[in-house]
Amino acid sequence: MSHICIGPKGSGKTHLLNSLRESDSINDTSHSVSTVGTNIFTIKNPNVKESDTNKQKSRQMASVQIREIGGTMAPIWRRYFEGATHIIYVIDTSNLCQISAAGVLLYTILTEPRLQTADILLVLTKMDLAYRQMRNEALLMIQLAKLKKELRQKITVVETSAVTNTGLSSVMDWLFPPPLKKTTQAKTPESH
């Protein structure tokens, strides 16, 4: 499994991944330096305690590694797509000038043949800012309904803020889906 976090420059990838790694590590005075190249973040599954690690290994992952690729690297993001199973795409809802372009960029990425079976998490971030776009407006601007019709990937949308920790639990649920419950098969008459 390989997780990649991309999105335009300054959209909030480093802040989001830092707050997932350590909640409350970010506040409204935090500032992160633009990522030149890539960063690797190890995110721990909050539902798996150290002592449970061996017991649960086969059922739930204890952690995932996520590679952030800086927005300035957009022209060469593709080099990292080989084997990518999960894509986290971060959009800054407070940046009116960037949202539509971010949608176009998302579309070009999702037409990439190597990402046809990847799971996509679309993160609308900086939701703590008063001048942000609301979820529906942002989704209209990136034309999500149209994208969903034309693309085959499963796209999950979450709203987050690295400052207030809003939506981080939804990101965790996407990263660490609960193990499938074993279903007891109903006996058919033939199976007697």
Ligand X SMILES: Nc1nc2c(ncn2[C@@H]2O[C@H](COP(=O)(O)OP(=O)(O)OP(=O)(O)O)[C@@H](O)[C@H]2O)c(=O)[nH]1
Residues contributing to the site for ligand X (CB under 6 A): 7, 9-15, 28, 31-32, 34-35, 70-71, 90, 125-126, 128-129, 161-163
Nearer of residues 131 and 149 to ligand X, judged by Cβ: 131
d(Cα 92, Cα 156) in Å, to the nearest integer? Answer: 16
Instruction: Give me the least distance between CB of 11 and Mg ion, in Å please.
Output: 9
Token pair of 129 as six digits: 């800012």
Amino acid type, 58? S
Pinpoint the alpha helices (H) of the chain: 13-21, 53-56, 96-110, 135-141, 144-150, 168-175
Instruction: Give me the least distance between CB of 39 and Mg ion, in Å please.
Output: 7
Amino acid type, 178? P
Residue 11 interacts with Mg ion (CB under 5 A): yes or no? no
φ, ψ at 25 (rounded to 5°): -80, -15
List the one residue from 11, 19, 35, 133 that touches Mg ion (CB under 5 A).
35
Instruction: Give me the least distance between CB of 8 and Mg ion, in Å please.
Output: 11
Binding site for Mg ion (CB under 5 A): 13-14, 35
